[in-house]
Structure 1
């Protein structure tokens, strides 16, 4: 890899890291279709490579979200432990599926989440809060389901958890995004290890993306806390649609 290519990959990581901090997803959601389209690699390899960037990004983003809005670690553990347990099974299934089928399933999943999030922008007037309506065992059920999806799609745990935490559990968007990152960390870590064991990771591409992401994710977190609740939700929905479209371009 030449110096120019490395620099461009770092710059791409900067953009992805900013988006990851803004939406509380570590950058992997947009990274997967971008890596697939720009570098012409299949879905599983794109997912594994994106995770090299996502895992350190998530660690830093959790720290930044916790600085601005304290994360209740009892809730984080209730989400994270089941997520860790079920992420492996999702990842084991993912590495054996057809790549085109994976893209179509993932794109459909994103569109459904986008529609749900957008509807809530218009239908819900009361903003979320810092406390949750439900705790154990509902958080454990959400963590397990989100972890399985995270393992299957390489990302997805935080995506599923965020709208559920805002609607069912009554959390604000930024509180939900912080908790979702706590949920995503164990599942993304074990998913990365599973993809690596199946040779579905391009480390030479993933590492410069990770460097760029670490340089910029704090900016995304800062923007997330500066934006109005409805605006952030609407942007989150549009981001999901954009990601689904990019995935469709790969098929």
Structure 2
């Protein structure tokens, strides 16, 4: 890999790390369509390469979120264990599917997230005014399972599924939900990366360069997340998902 290519990848990692810290997702969700659009990587290789950046980004972002909002590690442990088991299954399925099918499934997944997050923004006031609920172990295990399966299948860690559910169903704040989602995503992204790597679907040189940029900038995103009003952060998240969907459809 040429030095210019390394610098470009580090610069891209800087942008993705900031986005990952802002939304608590590690940056993989936007990295996947960008790697396809800008570098011509197929869907499997884009997902596997993005995970090289996502895993260390999630680790650092989780630490930063925990510094600012102490996490409930019992809740995080239940989410993480369930997510890990189902991410392993999802990643195994993903590596056996065709690239075109994976791309269409990924776009469909993003569209569902957009619809759900849009509904959360404009749902009736009676629902929005409900108080926080204490999530039970079974509820957390179910959420971790669904999020882990989606994370393993699409290489996004499952945080994009867990975060909106934690805010809308259990009434957690956006930043607290993002921190718990990161704790759940860490083991699931790690096992997904190992699975993709075992099938030769990772560009390690590009992924490591992206990772270097991401680690330098993800703390900025976390600081921004705590400075932005909760509703605005949710609105930005919806816009972010919409942009990712459009990018994949254009690929």
Q: Same fold (TM over 0.5)?
A: yes
Residue 185 of structure 2 corresponds to residue 179 of structure 1 = no
Match of 2:65 in 1: 65
Q: Is residue 48–residue 196 contact of structure 1 (8 Å, CA) maintained in 2? A: yes
Q: Take 2:241 and 2:130, find their aligned partners in 1: how far apart are those partners?
A: 21
Q: Take 2:80 and 2:116, find their aligned partners in 1: how far apart are those partners?
A: 24
Match of 1:216 in 2: 217
Q: Take 1:117 and 1:9, find their aligned partners in 2: how far apart are those partners?
A: 30
Q: Take 1:26 and 1:242, find their aligned partners in 2: how far apart are those partners?
A: 17
Q: Take 1:22 and 1:135, find their aligned partners in 2: how far apart are those partners?
A: 27
Match of 1:241 in 2: 242
Match of 1:95 in 2: 95
Match of 1:80 in 2: 80
Count of residues in correspondence between the two structures: 249
Q: Take 1:80 and 1:73, find their aligned partners in 2: how far apart are those partners?
A: 10
Structure 1 segments (4+ residues) deviating >6 Å = none
Match of 2:198 in 1: 197
| Root mean square deviation, CA, Å | 1.4
Worse overlay, 49-58 or 1-10: 1-10
Q: Take 1:38 and 1:30, find their aligned partners in 2: how far apart are those partners?
A: 12
Normalised by the length of structure 2, the TM-score is: 0.96
Structure 1: unaligned runs, 5 residues or longer:
none
Q: Take 1:123 and 1:216, find their aligned partners in 2: how far apart are those partners?
A: 34
How far residue 85 of structure 1 moved from its aligned partner, in angstroms, is 0.9
Residue 20 of structure 2 corresponds to residue 20 of structure 1 = yes
3-state SS, counterpart of residue 80 of structure 1: helix
Q: Using a 3 Å threshold, how does the CA distance of structure 1 residues 112 and 156 change in structure 2: closer, same or farther?
A: farther
How far residue 124 of structure 1 moved from its aligned partner, in angstroms, is 5.6
Q: 1:106-145, aligned counterparts within 5 Å?
A: 106-123=106-123, 126=128, 132-145=133-146
Match of 2:152 in 1: 151
3-state SS, counterpart of residue 137 of structure 2: coil
Worse overlay, 6-15 or 120-129: 120-129
Normalised by the length of structure 1, the TM-score is: 0.96
